[in-house]
Structure 1
Amino acid sequence: MIMASAFGHFGRRSLKFSRSLRHILQYDPCSIAQRSASEFRLFHLDRKREASIPIQMPALSPTMTEGTIVKWHKKEGDPISPGDVLCDIQTDKAVVSLDTEEEGVLAKILKQENTKDVLIGSLIAVMVEEGDDWENAEIPTSSDSSSESSQSSGSSDTETTATPTARIRMSPAARKLLEEYNISSPHTVPATGPHGMINKGDVLKYAQSKNLSKIDLASVKAPHTEKPTSAGKTSAVQPAQAVPRAPPTVSVSPDGGFQDIETTSMRRVIAQRLTQSKTMIPHSYMSIECNVDAAMNLRKKFIDSGTKVSLNDIIVKAAGYSLQRVPKVNSHWAEESVQVQSSVDISVAVATDSGLITPIIRNAVNLSISQISTTTKELAVKAREGKLQLQEFQGGSFTISNLGMFGIGEFSAIINPPQTAVLAVGTSELKPSVEGKPHSYLTVKMSYDSRAIDESEASEFLEKFQSVLENPSTLLV
């Protein structure tokens, strides 16, 4: 496609050049060689400029607003073919490899390795077509650099805050939706339109993922300020839209009372999503106590046969079995409807140095306990190494968070939107029974979105879960 479009452009340039040549022959035959050479040089420069292919920071996850260049796999002057990996980018969730469908030569790397907080849409590199002079390739003009220079030159607060919005291209319909959903920063909306343009569908998808509701713009009256005119009168003007400022830099106190720890992009996103979840989702809670003697015996049988499984693997299988029988809990909240998911995809919380991440066990209900164990271990290793692919942690229909290995008896977890429920699992404890023999019990507490799940549905799910966990032989069928 690139070659075809480039050929069409060069064909038009050649036609323009031939017309110019005919013009020279008609009016100034003595200067044909000199002027045609000049025309050719101009044509070559235009060709080189048009052949430049900008490479921008992409949106590699729905919640990503900026990224960090971890490693470049190509260096300047290297040939590039479709499917080649250009670089590794750390998103708000994991390290993702950026590949390309273009063909050419990597001319300039504009963002070096370990460059942090690169905004989506920012220019990170430039390619040229094969055969072009890559060493002298021109860098496309970027509004990103002009905005940085305007900020560093001491521009006013209004100019500085207005600059980020000016860097974003969007359709009129998208701009209106941003206002209706009260989205103050368009940088948070992943753009899928041509040349990084935000379209209507991008805003609707973002608003749905964040459970945002429309506001009545007519009822929102912006305050007016009085601006003196040249005639000495005053006129009403709208105040500039406020853009959230970056948090102030905290310095260490003289007595050494505290120490700053840099917040990773993952932890910033976690903080935003947790705040959104607790403020926007009406959490309800329900817990149940399960006898896990039979589950522990089943685990021992697996280990004795040479297959290492954990109690959590059996819990995941039991949850998948229960979700299949109470499908309302296996759902997403879509603001105006409940979307029951066709596949039981269970997210399992994994703690990493950068923060909590939830890799997904796809189609868990149809996997054996040993398959769940193998999948969970592989995903946990990739999560801690930051090597999860996008499809391995984005999505999911239900979440399990297990703190039993830390000795936590019972806790409440926060729902991961757009999911409607999360199961918090504590540690097992020995408790005496009426016959005097101690049994192992663990308490699970489900947090559920009361907009999507009724109390009767939540209790039905927990009863199914308790029943199958206490009789795990049904999971082997």
Structure 2
Amino acid sequence: MASSVLWRTLGRTKLLPSHALGRPTGCTEWYRNFWRTSEVFGVAPIKLHMPALSPTMEEGTIISWLKNEGDPVAAGDALCEIETDKATLTMDADDDGVLAKIIIPGNTKNVRINELIALMVPEGEDHTQVEMPTETGTPSATADTPTDVPAAVPVATSNASSSEFSSVRHMAGGKGHADLSPAVRYLVDSNSLDPAAIVPTGPHGRLLKGDVLKFLAGDPSARTQDPAAATAPSPPTPVAAPAPPPPPVTHPVVPPAAAEEDEYVDIPHTNMRRTIAKRLTQSKTTVPHAYSSIDCDMDSVLRLRKQLQGSGVKVSVNDFIIKAVGKALKSVPEVNAQWTGEAVQLLSNVDISVAVATDKGLITPIVTDVPSRGLQNISETVKELAGRARIGKLQPQEYQGGTFSVSNLGMFGISQFSAIINPPQACIMAIGGSRILVEPMEDGHRTKTVMLVTLCSDSRVVDDALASTFLENFKENLENPFKAALL
């Protein structure tokens, strides 16, 4: 009797002759190819989901893929570039393997976190045999399913005809997308298509990617015939002549209004702009803002800056301000705090967020441990962070956090303004431009350069008296840079 094996597939068990598996009758050794499950069941994939690259990120843009399908991948390799609400970062691989399938292509916007974007297979596996999962969306995607989807789809029995099975499969691939592959589902959803309107050509009535592409290209053969139009009965022959219609009612002809030219241009929101709008609205509506202003004499700072420039050290007025803020926060640590709802947390580290304007919006890179840094080091750090911020190359730890913010619009000619607090921080200092002030004296008058600063504080954390104490300390540091050791 020829040797045989049990063959299990799709829930059924069959007894097959051994030669059906590719080995000769009577052979007592298993062929290695028989154990390659990828040839029978496909390769179980390693799923790659859209990562959350910042605490405020809800969705992002896949700018480009740095690997192609079939490329080997080592742990730590950069897979793709992702634009978050703050910067452009790379997604790195966690495992070794082969990139088998790119589900979400490059230059795709509004990809929600945890959405399936690609598949990998382990090393040594055939990436072309990867099993395509039936779901690609986020766990919350089912909550967005339209309510007109049937609650259940009937299952075809074993003795159903192929046409009946095809219709069931096609119905399942309708609005609910239950039977669509990830690539087909992405094309259908991104183009707002009804799968039932597209002629499927796959096995068992399955809708293929090529079917959708033909439909989008306007191929008439890819469009299903409207059932209502196909089955509409012809009108019955009238038995008697209809009554004459009433005389038409005439109305004065009104010429159509001249089409107005568009007087606006829509600029789509970037991820950063949407996040900024959300956070600013939340801050302004939930945080009680209080404002305190003070004039600072800038003559000593300007003289010292000129001396430093003469010796080859280039620093800006803003660098002096950042250093003076750091010294003041060390002297008045109650301001270096944040509101948590349960308590006011006093922070030991003094990390100052510096507002930088970019083409996509405002971002605040952080200068860490300001009191221990020298003035030149602060200047170099700010320049380096601001340069990378403008091209979207900051790392998350370089703009997330911070204990106090500084926003300077003085270089843009703004004399005074108030800023919005960046929660959970308790304060932000708004720096205006310098102005010449004439001060009367006993023997005449003198002129001095004055700069107005405004402290915007969370009144739950910093009351008016504490804000006044902090501003007086800051003013003392800035007006006496040698005494305050700002260097």
Per the normalisation by structure 1, the TM-score is 0.70
Equivalent in 468, 479, 485 of residue 475 of structure 1: 485
8 A Cα contact 1:317 1:475, kept in partner: no
Runs of 4+ deviating beyond 6 Å: 27-30, 36-39, 145-152
Q: Which amino acid aligns with 1:441?
A: V
Q: What's the counterpart of residue 43 of structure 1?
A: 37
| Matched position secondary structure for 2:43 | helix
Structure 1: gaps (5+ residues) = 1-17, 22-26, 164-252
Equivalent in 311, 323, 327 of residue 321 of structure 1: 327
CA distance in 2, matches of 1:368, 1:352: 27
CA distance in 1, matches of 2:328, 2:138: 54
Q: Is the alpha carbon distance of 1:107 and 1:324 closer, same or farther for their aligned partners in structure 2, counting shifts above 3 Å?
A: same
Q: What's the counterpart of residue 434 of structure 1?
A: 440
Matched, 1:142 2:135: yes
**1:44 CA displacement:** 3.2
**1:427 CA displacement:** 0.2
Q: What's the counterpart of residue 342 of structure 1?
A: 348
CA distance in 1, matches of 2:14, 2:366: 73
8 A Cα contact 1:404 1:428, kept in partner: yes
Root mean square deviation of aligned Cα: 3.1
CA distance in 1, matches of 2:70, 2:260: 50
Matched, 1:71 2:81: no
Q: Which amino acid aligns with 1:475?
A: A
Q: Is the alpha carbon distance of 1:409 and 1:277 closer, same or farther for their aligned partners in structure 2, counting shifts above 3 Å?
A: same
Q: What's the counterpart of residue 306 of structure 2?
A: 300
Number of matched residues? 362
| Matched position secondary structure for 1:415 | coil
Q: Is the alpha carbon distance of 1:55 and 1:475 closer, same or farther for their aligned partners in structure 2, counting shifts above 3 Å?
A: same
Structural mapping, 1:353-372, within 5 Å: 353-372=359-378
Task: After superposition, give the CA deviation of every residue in 1:227-283 in whole Å (9 maximum; x if it has no partner).
Answer: xxxxxxxxxxxxxxxxxxxxxxxxxx9332222111111111101001100110011
**1:331 CA displacement:** 1.3
Higher helix fraction: Structure 1 or Structure 2?
1
CA distance in 1, matches of 2:14, 2:135: 41
Matched, 1:446 2:448: no
Q: Which amino acid aligns with 2:475?
A: Q
Equivalent in 3, 18, 23 of residue 32 of structure 1: 18
Equivalent in 468, 472, 485 of residue 459 of structure 1: 468
Q: What's the counterpart of residue 118 of structure 1?
A: 111
Q: Which amino acid aligns with 1:32?
A: S
| Matched position secondary structure for 1:472 | coil
Q: Is the alpha carbon distance of 1:408 and 1:157 closer, same or farther for their aligned partners in structure 2, counting shifts above 3 Å?
A: farther
Q: Is the alpha carbon distance of 1:65 and 1:440 closer, same or farther for their aligned partners in structure 2, counting shifts above 3 Å?
A: same
Q: What's the counterpart of residue 73 of structure 2?
A: 80
CA distance in 1, matches of 2:423, 2:456: 12
Matched, 1:331 2:337: yes
CA distance in 1, matches of 2:76, 2:85: 24
Structure 2: gaps (5+ residues) = 8-12, 24-30, 152-175, 177-258
CA distance in 1, matches of 2:448, 2:306: 16
Q: Which amino acid aligns with 1:451?
A: R
CA distance in 1, matches of 2:405, 2:141: 42
Identity of aligned residues (%): 47
Task: After superposition, give the CA deviation of every residue in 1:355-402 in whole Å (9 maximum; x if it has no partner).
Answer: 000000011111111001000001111010000000000000000000
Q: Is the alpha carbon distance of 1:143 and 1:97 closer, same or farther for their aligned partners in structure 2, counting shifts above 3 Å?
A: closer
**1:476 CA displacement:** 4.0
Task: After superposition, give the CA deviation of every residue in 1:65-103 in whole Å (9 maximum; x if it has no partner).
Answer: 001011222111111111111111000000011112211
CA distance in 2, matches of 1:311, 1:267: 29
Q: Is the alpha carbon distance of 1:376 and 1:146 closer, same or farther for their aligned partners in structure 2, counting shifts above 3 Å?
A: closer
**1:457 CA displacement:** 1.3
Matched, 1:394 2:400: yes
CA distance in 2, matches of 1:65, 1:330: 29
Task: After superposition, give the CA deviation of every residue in 1:194-227 in whole Å (9 maximum; x if it has no partner).
Answer: xxxxxxxxxxxxxxxxxxxxxxxxxxxxxxxxxx
8 A Cα contact 2:38 2:126, kept in partner: no
Per the normalisation by structure 2, the TM-score is 0.69
CA distance in 2, matches of 1:30, 1:301: 93
Equivalent in 274, 283, 290 of residue 268 of structure 1: 274
Q: Is the alpha carbon distance of 1:19 and 1:472 closer, same or farther for their aligned partners in structure 2, counting shifts above 3 Å?
A: farther
Q: Is the alpha carbon distance of 1:46 and 1:367 closer, same or farther for their aligned partners in structure 2, counting shifts above 3 Å?
A: farther
| Matched position secondary structure for 1:299 | helix
**1:47 CA displacement:** 6.5
| Matched position secondary structure for 1:323 | helix
8 A Cα contact 1:332 1:419, kept in partner: yes
| Matched position secondary structure for 1:261 | coil
Q: What's the counterpart of residue 413 of structure 1?
A: 419
**1:149 CA displacement:** 11
Equivalent in 309, 320, 324 of residue 315 of structure 2: 309
Matched, 1:384 2:390: yes
Q: Is the alpha carbon distance of 1:456 and 1:30 closer, same or farther for their aligned partners in structure 2, counting shifts above 3 Å?
A: closer
Q: Is the alpha carbon distance of 1:349 and 1:29 closer, same or farther for their aligned partners in structure 2, counting shifts above 3 Å?
A: closer
8 A Cα contact 2:5 2:15, kept in partner: no
Q: What's the counterpart of residue 130 of structure 1?
A: 123
| Matched position secondary structure for 1:92 | coil
Task: After superposition, give the CA deviation of every residue in 1:117-176 in whole Å (9 maximum; x if it has no partner).
Answer: 101011111111111111232222225299999989x764999xxx9xxxxxxxxxxxxx
CA distance in 2, matches of 1:455, 1:107: 61
8 A Cα contact 1:318 1:475, kept in partner: no
Q: Is the alpha carbon distance of 1:440 and 1:157 closer, same or farther for their aligned partners in structure 2, counting shifts above 3 Å?
A: farther
8 A Cα contact 1:283 1:448, kept in partner: yes
Q: Is the alpha carbon distance of 1:119 and 1:282 closer, same or farther for their aligned partners in structure 2, counting shifts above 3 Å?
A: same
Q: What's the counterpart of residue 166 of structure 2?
A: none
8 A Cα contact 1:398 1:422, kept in partner: yes
Q: Is the alpha carbon distance of 1:19 and 1:315 closer, same or farther for their aligned partners in structure 2, counting shifts above 3 Å?
A: farther
Q: What's the counterpart of residue 296 of structure 2?
A: 290
